[in-house]
Amino acid sequence: MKSTELAEPDVRPADPSAPAVRPATADERERRAAANAGEPTVEFTDRVPYDAYVHASTLHSLQQTLSKDPGEMSFLMVSQIMELYFGLTRFELLETQRLLRADDVWGALAPLRRAALHLEGLNASWQTLRWMTPADFNRFRDLLGEGSGFQSAMYRHLEFLLGLKTPSLVRPFRRQPEVYAELVESLESPSLWDDVIAVLARRGHAIPQALLDRDTAEEHEPHPAVEQAWVRIYEHNTPDNHLRMLGEALTEVAEQFGDWRYRHLKAVQRSMGAKVGSGGSAGVTWLQRSMARVVFPEIWSARTSM
């Protein structure tokens, strides 16, 4: 079973009870600055516009720790920041897919490059947990129970979109019907790499029809025809070779995502060594096996033949 329709990126509607942010023109901003003598506006008739847009007061109410240990705040907030980055990266990759399906390779480069930068920001998040030793983590770890980053639905969406398909990993969400349905759809839908391969076929590269028609709920197996397509694409480093630019942008996304997985592994080793994971996995061993799965495999293997 597969889905061929690409859903629009998930943009949640604003709280209808919250005041709308009123648009303003450049002329209005100039008049306001003149009336304020260059000082910022400090009087508003309703909710502060920044909070109405960013919902900062809501965001800062979501850090509900389970202990009084001050280090838990870092752990919780960094986890929440990573969740936001997972969602933002997925948003950009869905936009990349939409443009590739419209055969707009040039247009797809912008969201794909933004996705790589978001992943770079995601990677930087690990830096603020480098202080955590096993003793630090142990002060609140037991209170987490079976809670684990392994259970992040948004991370699974991101993995599936990048082509890392594991059907069993949707099972933890079966008792959350909406989340489960969205994950099943994400699992069964073509990955970004599937859409890239379809673009290669439409641009005249010899991609077998069986590869284009495969069950996209299953993880893509590297294929020599895809590898050879990339070898040929990289032979021409010209300004109009948009496929080569696409290959480099995909490489950056894959590399940054690989860096995140490596930093995750090192953070686990730093904070808990080889202990079993909170979610029931083998911890470090599980992460090492996960890292062996390559994102966009032929974009890497093709480099041997270039």
For residue 299 the two structure tokens come to: 């974009």
Question: In angstroms, rounded to a whole number, what is the distance separating the alpha carbons of residues 255 and 122?
Answer: 13
The answer for residues whose C-beta is within 8 angstroms of residue 182's C-beta and 6 or more apart is: 153, 157
Question: In angstroms, rounded to a whole number, what is the distance separating the alpha carbons of residues 228 and 205?
Answer: 9
**Is 141 annotated among the ligand-binding residues?**
yes
Tell me whether residue 197 is exposed, middle or buried, using C-beta atoms within 10 angstroms of its C-beta: 0 to 12, 13 to 18, 19 or more: buried
Residue 26 has phi, psi (to 5 degrees) of -60, -40
Query: Is there a contact between 274 and 288 (Cβ–Cβ < 8 Å)?
Result: no
Tell me whether residue 247 is exposed, middle or buried, using C-beta atoms within 10 angstroms of its C-beta: 0 to 12, 13 to 18, 19 or more: buried
The secondary structure of residue 63, as a DSSP letter, is -
Query: Is there a contact between 265 and 287 (Cβ–Cβ < 8 Å)?
Result: yes
- Provide DSSP, 17-57: TSPPPPP--HHHHHHHHHHTTTPPP---SSS-HHHHHH-HH
Going by C-alpha positions, the residue among 106, 122, 115 that lies closest to residue 9 is 115
The secondary structure of residue 151, as a DSSP letter, is G
Binding residues for substrate: 141
Binding residues for heme: 264
Binding residue positions: 141, 264
